[in-house]
Amino acid sequence: MEDLRELYQEVILDHNNDPRNFRKIDFATHDAKGYNPLCGDEVHLYLVVKEGRIEDICFQGHGCAISKAAASLMTDALKSKTVEEAESLFHRFQEMVTQKPGMEINFEGLGKLAVFAGVREFPVRVKCATLVWHALEASLKKKDRATSE
């Protein structure tokens, strides 16, 4: 159970039980759906971006604990960030969850998102953690659909 706890950290379980920003925005400037065909997880991400800054961000959908917590924590982290900052965070996050076990991770700037570091021990679950981030990228590029494939 010990290394499972690395994956299912308290913060993740908490955000799975009680996801933050779990709602819809009727007048979103950007939105995109993320879909993981492997497990059927689906997330719909909504953003209000004004002058290059994310004023509001939230999501709806269904999925496993990892994907739900990832969406909850990502939306928390990105509120009031600029689009450039969000994109840079995406790359840092992706680097963290795909880093080979044993290699050092630079957690700088990741804040609470660091709880997903354990995902790298479970390669089949990386897509669960990154699904909502792919949806973010798609929405910012004005594509309406992203898959984690």
**Which of 33, 34, 41, 54 forms a contact with other proteins (CB under 8 A)?**
41
- Position 18 contacts other proteins (CB under 8 A): no
Beta bridge partners of 45: 32, 59
- Position 32 contacts other proteins (CB under 8 A): no
Q: How far is the CB of 4 from other proteins (least distance, A)?
A: 5
- Position 66 contacts other proteins (CB under 8 A): yes
**Which of 11, 39, 48, 114 forms a contact with other proteins (CB under 8 A)?**
39
- Position 10 contacts other proteins (CB under 8 A): no
Between 80 and 119, how does the x/- string for binding to other proteins read (CB under 8 A)? ----------------------------------------
What own/partner pairs with CB < 8 Å and gap ≥ 24 does 44-51 have?
44/135, 45/71, 45/75, 45/132, 45/135, 45/136, 45/139, 47/136, 47/139, 47/140, 49/83, 49/140
Q: Which two tokens stand for residue 106?
A: 């630079």
Burial of 119 (0-12, 13-18, 19+ CB in 10 A): buried
Binding residues for other proteins, rule: CB under 8 A, are 1, 3-4, 7-8, 13, 16, 38-42, 62-66, 122, 124-125, 128
